[in-house]
Amino acid sequence: MRRTSPFARVRPFALSRRTAPQLVLTVCLGVLAWVAATAFAALACAMVTGVNLGPFEAAGEYLPVSLLSTGALAVTAGAAYHGKKDAYVSETLSRLRTAVLVAVCAPKSPWDEERGDSMLVAEVSNSIAAQRVFFEAIPIALASACCALLMVCVSPVAALLSLLTLVLVLPVVAAVSGRLTLGLATKALSTERGIEAQAHDSILRSRDLVQYESGVPRNSRLVSDMGIYARTRSKVLGIRSACIACGMAALALCWALIVVFLGQGALPGGHAGVCVLASATAVLFSLAYRPHVIVEHAQARVAAEVIDVVLTQAPAQEQPVAADVSVFGGAEVHAVASSDVQGEVLHDASLVIEPGSVVSVQCDDDRERAVLCGLFLGHYEADKGFVALSGVRIEAMSEESLRHTVVPVTRKTPLFTGTIRQNLRIGRPSASDADLVDACREAGLASFVSEGDVLGLEVDDPELSPRLTAEVRQRIGLARAILSDAPFIVMNDPTGDLGPLEEARFLRSVERLAPARTVLIVTRTDLAERIARASYKMESGSLRAASIDQAVPDMDGTRGSGVIF
C-alpha cells in the first residue's frame, strides 16, 4: 500500500490549523521562558564573576532578588511551555486519528481491500503515534525561530550564526541517526511486540504448556528473543545517544566560537554583554535541541508516508443515482461473474430472492460466501451479469438507499468495547431502550434482556468476555439487523461458530423474520434449507437450485419434553 508522496510530511501539519491558538500560546510561553532563562543565566554569570553590569548596574543592588525572580519565572514559564506543548500535540494527534478514521470509513474507500489485515491496522495506529515527534517539532521550531529573531536585538550576527548552526547541525544529526537506526528500530519494535504476544500467549495457553510439559522450551525461546531484542534495542539507543552527544559537541563548539569571536566587541555593555550573549545562545541551543525529536525523525517520516496513503486515498466516484428504492421488491443475481483480490470467485451465478422470503445457500468456501454476500452490500462488483435490488441495479443505487435496504449479519458479529446498548444501536442510533428490548426479544434474546439492566452491561473485551457466548453474540447481530429496519438481511455464515443446537435455535429465529423481512442466509451446513422457501447450493462458483418453494414444516406444538442434553 506504500507509495511516497512529496506532501507526506506536510499534510498532517494542515491538521494543526485548528489548534493554532494553542500553538501561538505555546510559542509565546517558549519565548518567555527563553527570555527569563537568558536573563537569569546572564545575571548569575555577571554576579558570580563580578562584571560591570553597565546600563543595568542599578540592578546590582538587588541581584539576588532579581535572580530569584527571573529564575522562578524561567522555571514556571518553561514548565507551562512544556505543558502547553503537550496539550497542543495531544489535540493535534486526536484530530489526526479522527481524520484517518473518516478517510477509512469513507464510502467505497480503497482501504476496504486491506482493512481486515490486523497488521496493517496496527501499522497505521503506530504511525499515528509516531507523528507525535512531528507535531512536537512545530512549536519547538517556531519558538526557536522567534527567539533567534529576538536575539537580533542582542546581536544580529550572533542570531544569524546561531540560526546557521542549528540549521547545519540538527538535520545532520537527524539524518545520521536515521540512516544508522531506522532498520534496527523497526526490528526492535517488531521483536518487542512478538515477545509481548508470546508472553501473553504463554499465560493463555498455560494448561496446554503444562499438559505437554513444553513450558521450558517455550521459555527458552522467549529468552533468546529477549536477547535479540536487548541487542537490537541497545544498538538503536546507543547509536542515537552517541549521535545526540556528537550533536551536543558540535553545538558546544559553535557556541564557544560565537562567544569567543563576538563576545569582545559585539555588544554594548562590555563584560555584561558577553554574559548576555553567552547565555542567550546557550539557552537558544538548548531550547531548539530536543534530542528525541531529532533522532526519532526518520521513523516519524516513514510513518507519515503510511498515514499519507490513508489520507489521500481517493474514494471511488459515486455513480449517477437512480430513484431510491422505497418498497423492497426482492433481489436478483443474474449470470454474475465476480472476483476478489485473489482472482475470479463466482462465474455465471444466478439467484432470485422473492420479497418476504428466506433463501438459503449452502456454500463451503469462505471466498465464495464473502463475494456472494458482498455483491448485495456493494463490497464486490459484478464483472459480468448484474445484481439488482427491487429491480434496480446495485451500481445505480445511491449509497444512502443501498444502506437503508440491505444490512449484513456475519459469522462473528463485530462487538465494540462499550455497553450492549451502544452495540445494539449500531442498527439504529436513535433507537430507544424499548426498541432495543423489542428487537432483542425478536432476535431470541428475551431471557437475556430480562436479566436486569443488560443493555448497560459493559463489554470490556468482546474477545475474552465469558458472558457473551457465540450464540448471544450472533443474536446481538440479528437484533442489530432487526433494529435497522432494512427490508433485506444478508447473512454470511451466521451459524459458523455455533454448535448444532445453537444453530437450530438461531435458524428458528431467522425463520420468524419472514415475511416482514427478506433474508438471504449463506451457511456451510445444509440445515438452513429447512427454513428456506428456496435453497441453493454453491458449486465451484455457480449456484444450483436445491429446492424451491419447499413447504416449511410446522413446528408449533411439537416441542418435546425430555431432557435437553
Partner 1 sequence: MFDRRVWEVVRGCERDSLSYALLCFATFSLDAVCAVLLALVITSVLEGAPSWPAVAALPLALLLRAPLSYARSARRVSAQAAAALEANGRLCEKYARLCWASEADDYGPDFLWCAGEGARRLGELFGEVLPRMIGALALALPVTVATLFVCWQVSVTFFVTAVAVLASLVTGAASERNRVMNERIDDMHAVSASAADYFAIVMRESETLRDYHVESDFVELAAARGTKAEHVRLQRAERGLMLITFTLAVGTCGAVVVGHICSQLSRAGELSPLFALALALVCAYATARIAMLAISIPHMAEAEVAQGCMVELLALREPAEHGSAVAEPGDHLALSHVSYSHDGEDEALFDVSLDVPAVGLTAVVGPAGSGKTTLAQVLSGHVTDYEGTVFLGGKQFRDFPRTARLRYVTHVDGASGLVAASVRENLQMADLSATEAEMWSVLETVGLDSEIRRRGGLDYDLSAADVELSQSERLRLVFARALLHNSPVLVIDALMDDVNPVDGERAMMALRAIARYKAVVYLTRHPSQARFAKLEYVLSGGRIIASGTHEALLASCEEYRLAFEEQDRALSLTAMPSDQTVVLAKGGDAHAAN
In the region spanning residues 117 to 146, those forming contacts with partner 1, defined by CB under 8 A, are: 117-119, 121-122, 124-125
User: Does 105 engage in binding with partner 1 (CB under 8 A)?
Assistant: yes
Q: Specify the DSSP element, H or E, that contains 362.
A: strand 358-362
Q: Between residues 87 and 145, which has the closer beta carbon with respect to partner 1?
A: 87
Q: Between residues 322 and 446, which has the closer beta carbon with respect to partner 1?
A: 446
Contacting range for partner 1; rule: CB under 8 A; set: 6-14, 165-173, 344-352, 502-510: 502-510
| 3-state class (DSSP) for residue 385 | strand
Q: Between residues 145 and 496, which has the closer beta carbon with respect to partner 1?
A: 496
Q: Between residues 115 and 145, which has the closer beta carbon with respect to partner 1?
A: 115
Please give the Cα distance from 241 to 101 (Å, whole number). 36
User: Does 506 engage in binding with partner 1 (CB under 8 A)?
Assistant: yes
Q: Between residues 6 and 551, which has the closer beta carbon with respect to partner 1?
A: 551
Instruction: Output the smallest distance, CB 209 to partner 1, in A.
Output: 6
Q: Which amino acid is at 52?
A: N
Instruction: Output the smallest distance, CB 519 to partner 1, in A.
Output: 15
Please give the Cα distance from 423 to 417 (Å, whole number). 8
Instruction: Output the smallest distance, CB 335 to partner 1, in A.
Output: 25
Instruction: Output the smallest distance, CB 101 to partner 1, in A.
Output: 4
Contacting range for partner 1; rule: CB under 8 A; set: 136-144, 317-325, 340-348, 442-450: 442-450
Site for partner 1 in 447-486 (CB under 8 A): 447-448, 451, 454, 460-461, 466-472, 475, 480, 484
Q: Specify the DSSP element, H or E, that contains 55.
A: none
User: Does 238 engage in binding with partner 1 (CB under 8 A)?
Assistant: yes
Residue whose cell numbers read 479522527:
98
Please give the Cα distance from 279 to 140 (Å, whole number). 19
**In contact, 345 and 397? CB cutoff 8 Å:** no
**Omega within 30 of 0 (cis) for the link into 55:** no
Please give the Cα distance from 382 to 375 (Å, whole number). 7
Give the number of C-alpha atoms closer than 13 A to the C-alpha of residue 249, restricted to the C-beta side.
7
Count CB atoms within 10 A of the CB of residue 169: 22
Count CB atoms within 10 A of the CB of residue 81: 24
User: Does 312 engage in binding with partner 1 (CB under 8 A)?
Assistant: no
User: Does 509 engage in binding with partner 1 (CB under 8 A)?
Assistant: yes
Contacting range for partner 1; rule: CB under 8 A; set: 17-25, 46-54, 325-333, 340-348: 46-54
Cα 108 to the center of its chain, rounded Å: 19
For the purposes of burial, counting CB atoms within 10 Å of the CB of 377, is it exposed (0-12), middle (13-18) or buried (19 or more)? Answer: middle
Instruction: Output the smallest distance, CB 225 to partner 1, in A.
Output: 10
User: Does 496 engage in binding with partner 1 (CB under 8 A)?
Assistant: yes
User: Does 555 engage in binding with partner 1 (CB under 8 A)?
Assistant: yes
User: Does 212 engage in binding with partner 1 (CB under 8 A)?
Assistant: yes
User: Does 539 engage in binding with partner 1 (CB under 8 A)?
Assistant: no
Q: Radius of gyration (Cα) for the chain, nearest Å? A: 33
